[in-house]
Chain A
Amino acid sequence: MREILGLYNYWVVIFLMMTGFYVVIARRNLIKKVIGLNIFQISVFLLYITMGKVTGGTAPILPARHFTTGEEFQTFSNPLPSVLILTAIVVGVATTAMALALIVRIHEAYGTIEEDEILAQDREQ
């Protein structure tokens, strides 16, 4: 049971990762490919955030006490993975923007965003 419930977040990560990866490979529509790529990347963000969580830990912010009860906190979650993932999110946004910009240009040039039709047009030339 511990493997299933205790590692709940990781199962979500793997499910999203495989979904995204499958969409990237299987879909022939370029926009859907980009969506798949996004899901794939976001699963990795979740992986990082999950690994930073310490059971019972709170956010590592000073002062280290509860603001109503005044109780002192002893355990903190690891902030570093979240910070890393902020950078990775920026990278992901840049990648998506770049991909969408390319798709706009592809649509201008080919009049379609279906990969099969694009390849067929290229073969005709």
Chain B
Amino acid sequence: MEQHLPVLLIITPLIAAPLCVLVRQRVAVFGLALAVCWAVFAMAIMLLARVLDSGEITYQLGGWAAPWGIEYRIDTLSAFVLLFVSGIGAVVLSFAPHSIAREIRKDQHYLFFTEYLLCLTGLLGITITGDLFNLFVFLEISSLSAYALISLGARGGVPKTRRALIAAFHYLVMGTIGATFILIGIGLLYMMTGTLNMADMAVRLRETVEINGSFKQVNETRTVLVAFAFLSVGISLKMALFPLHMWLPNAYTYAPSVVTAFLAATATKVSVYILLRLIFTIVGAGFAFERLPLDTELMVLSMIGIVVASVTAIFQTNIKRMLAYSSVAQIGYIALGISFASPDGLTGAIVHLFNHALIKGGLFLAMGCLVLRLGSTELDDMRGIGRRMPWTMFAWVVGGLGLIGVPTTAGFISKWYLISAALERGWWPVAVLVLLSSLLAVAYVWRVVEAAYFQDAPEQHAEVTEAPVVMLIPTYALIGATIVFGLWTSVSAGVARQAAELLLEVTP
């Protein structure tokens, strides 16, 4: 049992998903999905504990030895990502019943739970697998179910809108282009190395071969360069790195609240994980950052992305859309951390994956509470809501402070690492930009605070009451966690630092 944990983590939600379709009965399906999600979270905790205790775990599917068989490989980074993806999956699902009762048509609830479990399977699978083609398959499992989840907003969404369909369609087109780029990249790498196993590929890329009479390393060939280009563009599309983020704002705005909370907290983070694996485990930082200028490119794009997306966020009147643009900016911070390629920068990037997942997850859950009571996500409808829904708005404000990066919140820890990494390199303009962009975050968070606490409620919202406690508990679980991990950093930042050092160590 113990040694089969890695595969159980994937198999359990994968089998539970079709069961949901067979059972159909709403309460039973919810019970099943909830039990599975929390069980998966428990397994992820056990895996992280084992990895921290005794180092990397490998698991061979069906007993076929790598590199021929598919191998699951869990190091500190993957265990850490598994932990927060499954944790957020469990908390968000606990939040779901009341929220989807309002936002998704009743006869489609079992489909929601099915897609949710499939999406979770895909995201966990991407993180755990050590095989590139397997990664592509899991990526498509998670993406296809994400498209379906977003389109659920069209039949019962609050406010009911057919735009969810167009948003899902655009995401499908962009997502498929991204995934196909990744597939092309994997194919070209396979062509040059003859293997799909990431660890084996890393070794073979550094071997010397004879091509047309001259000797060179495999990773000096043009095929590998092209493969890397396809992979990095494809992954950037999936992680919504500026300027490839166009699918994200509409998808997040028109999806049901629960779906937005889940996808915003996990999907783009897992894509960042793929990028980290590609750069540091497969091709090596020397290839990506020294032979190719990926670090400069990431830094320039992320800095433009941070500023443009934050400024765009300030001018939004729909709060979900505002938070979506803020997500694009936060992906910028993560990419910025990667571009430093130093222990501090990488720690900042990895810890911000975790912190931003908690913050954005919590904020979108608070939005779910507001939608339940207000039936709207417009800023105008939030006027005076701070007095009628004090607990929800308090959670929102704490989350907003996390986005800004106020000390004692988790957001501060990430920015601290990013700024110290920038100063360590002597790039003080970058550090200044990170600080200035926090001011932009102050501006968009303040607009909501001002409307909620300092303006009078419009008459039609005079009767609005606080959200039910069962929804506030999961919201506070995530929002509370941003404070806990802002003060008690040994877990999040400690594990992230270990993961970052392991990543930098394997690259020669």
Contact = CB atoms under 8 A, between A and B. Distances in A.
A24, A40, A91, most chain B CB atoms within 10 A:
A91
B137 interface: yes
A33 B173 CA distance: 8
B168 interface: yes
Contacts of B169: 30, 99, 102-103, 106
Contacts of B136: 88
B191 A51 contact: yes
Given A33-B173, A105-B151, A118 B166 contact: yes
A37 interface: yes
A37 B173 contact: yes
A118 B176 CA distance: 22
A99 B154 CA distance: 15
Interface string A19-31: 0010010000010
Interface in B112-157: 133, 136-137, 140, 144, 147-148, 151, 154
B187 A44 contact: yes
A102 B173 contact: no
Given A51-B190, A87-B133, A44 B183 contact: yes
On chain A, which size bracket covers the interface? 20 to 34
A16 interface: no
B176 A95 contact: yes
B140 A102 contact: no
B162 interface: yes
A62 to B, nearest CB: 18
Interface in B167-185: 168-169, 172-173, 176-177, 180, 183-184
Given A41-B176, A105-B154, A122-B166, A98 B148 contact: yes
Contacts of A99: 169, 172-173
B151 A102 contact: yes
A95 B140 contact: yes
Grouping DSSP codes into helix (H, G, I), strand (E, B) and loop, the A interface class, with mixed when no group exceeds half, is helix
B163 interface: yes
A109 interface: yes
Contact of A102 (B172, B176, B183): B172
A84 interface: yes
A103 B169 CA distance: 8
A98 B172 CA distance: 9
A48 interface: yes
Contacts of B190: 51, 81
A69 B217 CA distance: 43
B180 A40 contact: yes
B165 interface: yes
A91 to B, nearest CB: 5
B166 A44 contact: no
Contacts of B147: 98, 102
A94 B166 contact: no
A42 B166 CA distance: 24
A87 B137 contact: yes
Contacts of B180: 40-41, 44
Nearest to B150: A102
A14 B177 CA distance: 15
Nearest to A41: B180
A110 interface: yes
B184 A47 contact: yes
B165 A105 contact: yes
A40 B163 CA distance: 26
A118 B148 CA distance: 20
A9 B371 CA distance: 54
Nearest to A95: B176
Interface string B183-212: 110010011000000000000000000000
Contacts of A47: 184, 187
A44 B188 CA distance: 10
A122 B250 CA distance: 12
Nearest to A83: B133
Contacts of B166: 106, 118, 122
Contacts of B133: 84, 87
A2 B1 CA distance: 56
Nearest to A105: B165
Interface in A73-113: 81, 84, 87-88, 91, 94-95, 98-99, 102-103, 105-106, 109-110
A31 to B, nearest CB: 11
B163 A122 contact: yes
Interface string B340-380: 00000000000000000000000000000000000000000
Given A87-B133, A91-B140, A110-B162, A44 B177 contact: no
Contacts of B151: 102, 105
A24 to B, nearest CB: 6
A49 to B, nearest CB: 10
A29 B140 CA distance: 24
Contacts of B137: 87, 91
A94 B162 CA distance: 23
A118 B177 CA distance: 22
A110 B169 CA distance: 14
B191 A95 contact: no
Give the 9 A-B CB pairs with smallest separation, nearest first. Answer: A109-B162, A91-B140, A51-B191, A102-B169, A106-B165, A105-B165, A48-B187, A95-B176, A44-B183
Interface of B: 133, 136-137, 140, 144, 147-148, 151, 154, 162-163, 165-166, 168-169, 172-173, 176-177, 180, 183-184, 187, 190-191
19 contacts: A21-B177, A41-B180, A44-B180, A44-B183, A47-B184, A51-B191, A87-B137, A88-B136, A91-B144, A95-B176, A98-B144, A98-B147, A98-B148, A99-B173, A102-B172, A103-B169, A105-B154, A109-B165, A122-B163
